[in-house]
Amino acid sequence: MSQCILHVGMRKTGSSSIQATLEKHLDPEKYALMLAPRANVSDALRIAFEDPEKSAMRKMAIPSRDTVDHFRKRKQSALNHFKSFFADNADRSVIVSAEGFENLDLSEVRDLLSLVPHDDITIICYIRAPHSAMESLLQQRIKTGGTSFSDASSLIPHYRRILKKYQELPAKFQPVYFDRASLINGCAVQDFFHRVGLDVAPTDVQNTNESITYEALSLIFAMNRWRVANNRRPAEWRKVRKWIRGFGGRKLSIHPDLYQSASALRQEDILWAEKLLGVEFPSRQAREQDMTSLNELTEVCDEAVAWLRDKVGGDFADLGHAASESFERFLALDNKRRRSESRQIA
């Protein structure tokens, strides 16, 4: 019997790797994979099923009427894409994967399910523990251009808001604890393939969006802030950012006290997630290298700057020599200001 698999890709649970591996190694005789144009159909999902004003607000805090109209015009085309996919594959098993599922409300997910002709619908979602998620989401925000973090609690998933709706749907809901010890071979990709009745060789797993070192993150964080301060376009430093990711060092880790402070107002939500999974999220012992404040990421070590200068031949690649000098001045002034603030606090 054919079935529909909906993969709710919560952030930092291997979703990009699952999607990349599905694109390359999914057996088309067993499943049809929805593409829009890639396996992560988040944009098409939001446009098709979200209210246009809600979609527009993702682009602008106060969206203009033109922005809302733009999403309204795209809505029917995106909706038709979903209708065609399900109609064309009514007699085949299908997989639809998207991080964007977490932003849909209950009525919007129901609108999607109304298009699904399959009687057997399974919703699979991997769920990461809050302390680990906080560390991973911090990395992701910096790697995608983040320049400030006013609220550390925003790095902890809103478990009930994202997941509770799936308990109220006429579908099998499979929440899965994203824990290396419980996943097939410690791998979310192999675990997902196993759950949908498929095999994938370890050598075929597409690992994407992997973590980078604390020192590399601090350098990227500095470049994010320098780029914004100097009105530099992201494309101008993309190659440099790739080089920075290769800088060695220690793993980013958040001190338990910082985590406890950030999670204090979210305890009911965290307990709800534990009950859903039937687990108790692990506590962590403090380590010497743990971050006790997000502000520590603004302190870029001299070795990292010297490494970058040597790596790109002294001119930071396509940025040019003037940009190179500007960035180094920015770092020098920023580090000087931070040291001054630390002395005043002491």
> Are residues 53 and 192 part of one domain?
yes
Q: Is residue 16 part of a domain?
A: yes
Is the separation of the CB atoms in 188 and 195 below 8 Å? no
pLDDT at 224 over 60: yes
- Provide mean pLDDT across the span 118-140: 96
Q: Is residue 159 part of a domain?
A: no
Query: Is residue 104 classed as helix, strand or coil in its secondary structure?
Result: coil
Cα 332 to Cα 339: distance, rounded to the nearest angstrom: 11
> Are residues 191 and 290 part of one domain?
no
Q: How many domains does the chain have?
A: 2
pLDDT band at 330 (very low <50, low <70, confident <90, very high): low
> Are residues 245 and 187 part of one domain?
no
> Are residues 265 and 187 part of one domain?
no
Q: Is residue 44 part of a domain?
A: yes
- Would you call 222 exposed, middle or buried from its count of C-beta atoms within 10 A (0-12, 13-18, 19+)? buried
Domain range for residue 83? Answer: 3-128+178-204
Q: What is the pLDDT of residues 284-312, one digit of tens each?
A: 999 999 999 988 888 877 787 777 767 65
> Are residues 218 and 199 part of one domain?
no
Pick from 57-66, 95-104, 315-324: least confident:
315-324
pLDDT at 338 over 60: no
Is the separation of the CB atoms in 137 and 217 below 8 Å? no
Q: Is residue 171 part of a domain?
A: no
Residue type, 330: F
> Are residues 223 and 185 part of one domain?
no
Which domain-ending residue is among 170, 204, 238? 204
Which domain-ending residue is among 204, 238, 254? 204
Cα 3 to Cα 26: distance, rounded to the nearest angstrom: 15
pLDDT band at 343 (very low <50, low <70, confident <90, very high): very low
Q: How many CB atoms lie within 10 A of CB 230?
A: 11
Q: What is the pTM of this model?
A: 0.87
Q: What is the pLDDT of residues 166-178, one digit of tens each?
A: 999 999 999 999 9
**Helices and strands counted in the chain (H then E):** 14, 5
> Are residues 248 and 103 part of one domain?
no
> Are residues 58 and 198 part of one domain?
yes
Which tokens hold the place of 162?
């994202």
Cα 190 to Cα 180: distance, rounded to the nearest angstrom: 11
Q: Is residue 145 part of a domain?
A: no
Q: What is the pLDDT of residues 59-97, one digit of tens each?
A: 655 566 767 888 888 999 999 999 999 999 999 999 999
> Are residues 221 and 117 part of one domain?
no
Q: Is residue 244 part of a domain?
A: yes
Is cis: bond before 28, omega within 30 of 0? no
pLDDT attached to residue 340: 54
Q: Are strands 3-8 and 32-33 parallel, antiparallel or unpaired?
A: unpaired
Q: How many CB atoms lie within 10 A of CB 270?
A: 18
Q: Is residue 139 part of a domain?
A: no
> Are residues 190 and 86 part of one domain?
yes
> Are residues 114 and 249 part of one domain?
no
Q: Is residue 136 part of a domain?
A: no
> Are residues 186 and 56 part of one domain?
yes
